[in-house]
């Protein structure tokens, strides 16, 4: 099965399990990155999508989903506010509202998130903080 046929299988399935959902996000990242044709462009994109997990207080599948959503957003959008809005909107849809997302070059923070709904990581040159509160 190729990535494309797996993608089609997931799209036509009536029920998307968490694993299927994560696979779909990974395929979206791959598809977005394939737009870059030269090896120099691909290398720069790989550097932009390099992840360094700082702290996570959420289930592993949700953690992977947060990172995949952020990668898709970094490829699709230029502004940090658009990246943050995309990630927040995706998590509000998938994991019920009220998610908050901050994307910045450098920041300090003090938040009181709901239990097991918090992640902070570096994605390329950006810091990403995603948490649920309220």
pLDDT along the chain (134 residues), means of 10: 40 42 59 58 74 95 94 92 97 94 89 89 95 89
Question: Pseudo-torsion of CA 66, 127, 92, 46, nearest 10°?
Answer: -40
Residue 46's pLDDT is 75
In the chain, alpha helices (H):
3-12, 18-33, 39-48, 60-76, 80-95
The fraction of the chain above a pLDDT of 70, given in percent, is 68
Does the reported pTM lie above 0.95? no
- The full set of domains in the chain, from first to last, is 3-132 (3.30.740.10)
């Amino acid at each position: 099965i190729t990535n494309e046929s797996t993608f089609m299988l997931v799209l036509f399935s009536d029920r998307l399990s968490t694993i299927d959902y994560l696979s779909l996000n990974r395929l979206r990242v791959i598809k977005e990155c394939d737009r870059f044709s030269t090896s120099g462009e691909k290398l720069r994109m790989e550097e932009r999508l390099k992840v360094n997990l700082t702290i996570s207080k959420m289930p592993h599948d949700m953690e992977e989903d947060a990172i995949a959503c952020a990668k898709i957003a970094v490829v699709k959008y230029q502004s940090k506010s658009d990246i943050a809005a995309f990630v927040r909107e995706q998590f509000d849809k998938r994991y019920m509202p009220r998610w908050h997302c901050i994307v910045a070059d450098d920041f300090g923070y003090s938040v009181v998130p709901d239990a097991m709904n918090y992640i902070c990581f570096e994605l390329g040159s950006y810091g990403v903080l995603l948490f649920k509160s309220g």
